[in-house]
């Protein structure tokens, strides 16, 4: 199985209805653990760099770059401290 996105590891605070990290398999399991959980022969995700290269802009570029927070936990605006702290505490991402 090939996924055309990096693993979704962090909640979105900007309008996409995503669960918190404890409900995101990308935050809770390694790629190999996910592969086993979905019973796939192999599993690969697009890298964040590959995603950014494919759309031709840098992440968080000042003049209109793209948010990548759900992949890398780098939010372009402040997010609520308690939610961010809780999210960081439960993050299994690197
Ligand atoms: S890239 Fe940013 S705005 Fe888009 S879903 Fe992820 S966290 Fe939300």
Nearest CA to ligand 1 atom 4: 67
Structure tokens at 45: 């995700």
CA distance 39 to 30: 14
CA distances from 74 to 59, 65, 66 (A): 10, 13, 11
CA distance 34 to 26: 8
Would the CB of 79 count as within 6 Å of ligand 1? no
pLDDT tens-digit profile of 37-91? 999 999 999 999 898 888 876 656 665 678 889 999 988 888 876 555 555 555 5
Structure tokens at 17: 């209805």
Model pLDDT, residue 10: 94
Model pLDDT, residue 65: 72
pLDDT tens-digit profile of 14-43? 999 888 899 999 999 999 999 999 999 999
CA distance 15 to 32: 30
Model pLDDT, residue 74: 87
Model pLDDT, residue 43: 98
Q: 38: phi > 0 → left, psi -120 to 50 → alpha, else beta; which?
A: alpha
Q: Give the distance (Å) from ligand 1 centre to CA of residue 75.
A: 9
Work out the mean pLDDT of the chain and round it to a whole number. 84
Q: Give the distance (Å) from ligand 1 centre to CA of residue 11.
A: 8
């Amino acid at each position: 199985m090939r996924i055309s996105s990096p693993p979704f590891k962090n909640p979105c605070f900007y309008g996409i209805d995503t669960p918190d990290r404890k409900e995101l398999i990308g935050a809770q399991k390694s790629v190999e653990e996910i592969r086993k959980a979905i019973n796939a022969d192999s599993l690969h995700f697009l890298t964040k760099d590959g995603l950014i290269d494919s759309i031709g802009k840098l992440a968080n570029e000042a003049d209109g770059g793209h948010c990548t927070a759900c992949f890398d936990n780098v939010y372009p605006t402040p997010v609520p401290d308690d939610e961010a702290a809780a999210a960081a505490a439960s993050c299994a991402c690197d």
